[in-house]
Amino acid sequence: MKKSIDTYLKQSPKLAGAIVGVSIRRADTGETIYEHKADTRLRPASNMKLLTAAASLAVLGEAYRFSTEIRTDGIIKGECLVGNVYLIGKGDPTLLPKDFAGFAAKLRAMGIQHISGKVIGDDTWYDSVRLSPDMIWSDETYYYGAQISALTASPDSDYHAGTIKVEIRPNKLGENPIITSSPESTYIEIDNKAVTVETNKKENIIFERQHGSNLITITGEIPDRHEGLKEWVSVWEPTGYAVDLFKQALTKHHITYSGGWEIAKVPTNTKLLHFCYSIPLSKLMVPFMKHSNNTIGEILIKEMGKQVYGEGSWEKGLNVLEKQLVNFGMETKGLMLRDGSGISHMNLIPANQISWLLYVIQKKEWFSTYFHALPVAGESERDIGGTLQHRMHGLPVQAKTGSLYTISTLSGYAEKANKEKIVFSIMFNNLLDEEEGKRMENQLLDMMIHSE
């Protein structure tokens, strides 16, 4: 194995000028059987999620659920709620439009047809910092750069919280394409500047959300026979987005309100009208790991900070993360930890530390949940294969992918041809084309599995 991998890393032209870290261990003993610059700190991209997932399962537990509450500072008199209604978020990234409809239905079932006060959203479970400090501006438009709020909403069961799904289909030649968004919301505005063009033209649609607003501008061209495309666009201030969905639900359930809406902290001595829980953390691990959901990663960091220190911030959450990694036997003094998802280009972790983590957690009671959440190579079903569904068909690999500009990483578990199980971490940094990193990872795994 050593000779073939060494030769590959030395002779691959795509690796000229790049930095490569590789660590391979025996899964049963943790013994290192191959390493290449494995103690060099490298940017992990979404391999950072391996750390966040392990820490959150240890700190919060597999059964942990996020909650959402509806409270009032008033009283119900007949068909009128005299007072304000508070929608209180506590970090749940899984709230869907149907959940807000369910909230409204509960109020209606209580006989409430009018709210004399305001509809108020409370997101103070976490701090007010929406974006991690290293977020680059070009990521802000997209789902992987969504803002973090304790009160947020997802458009669908992929749980890209704080985003809206925008779909575009071709129209007649020369006309603007047909655009739909879900959920329907007046919270965002779409400026359609795209054009439908001839079949032989190339699709080059661009989605951009103006910084500081919810104006989404769509430009470019889409061929008239194109099957269509969709994008999850982040919203500015997801708290207001969640409140907007709640307001819509109230209207659809024929509940009126007099006082408008705002975002504020719920006062003390309010009455609980309704509450709901998210799916357990064990199930949330699947979209987090298999689909590499950044927003879930950052929410988990803030939630760990909230539960351990009473402060839902990146600073406190990362403190919890680091302490838990020490409990796993990792050498955290040599790490740079900046977020929970890996979108930061400032995170720095050696391959040996990742492979050690993957080895040591195999003995934890929650490991089966963790392992199940990892993408499975070549599995076509999306919720099984995840980000590996189109890669390494036929290879017994279950691992977490990672990709940023100039970075490609892959770390996880594999079974060699002789049935020996291994733990591995492959980290490519300073690539000119990170997509080439995926191809090289595939080839390295093939060598690991089929060489002695």
Residues identified as active-site:
46, 49, 292
Q: Which of these, 65, 82, 86, 66, lies nearest to 74 by C-alpha position? A: 82
Q: How far apart are CA 161 and CA 148, in angstroms?
A: 8
Q: How far apart are CA 66 and CA 91, in angstroms?
A: 6
Confirm if 240 and 164 have CB atoms less than 8 A apart: no
SS3 (DSSP) at 253: coil
Distance of alpha carbon 32 from its chain centroid, rounded?
Answer: 31
Q: Which of these, 452, 445, 450, lies nearest to 417 by C-alpha position? A: 450
**67-72, strands of its sheet edge to edge:** 261-263, 119-122, 85-89, 67-72, 271-277
- The H-or-E segment that residue 293 falls in is none
The helix-helix angle for 2-11 and 434-450 (nearest 10°) equals 160
Residues 238, 244, 245, 250: is their CA dihedral positive or negative?
A: positive
SS3 (DSSP) at 398: strand
Q: Is 276 exposed, middle or buried (0-12, 13-18, 19+ CB in 10 A)?
A: middle
Q: Which of these, 336, 295, 293, lies nearest to 318 by C-alpha position? A: 336
Give how far Cα 228 sits from Cα of 111, 131, 142, 191, 387, Å.
44, 31, 18, 18, 22
Do you find a cis peptide bond into 155, omega within 30 degrees of 0? no
3-state helix, strand, coil in the chain (%, to 5): 35, 25, 40
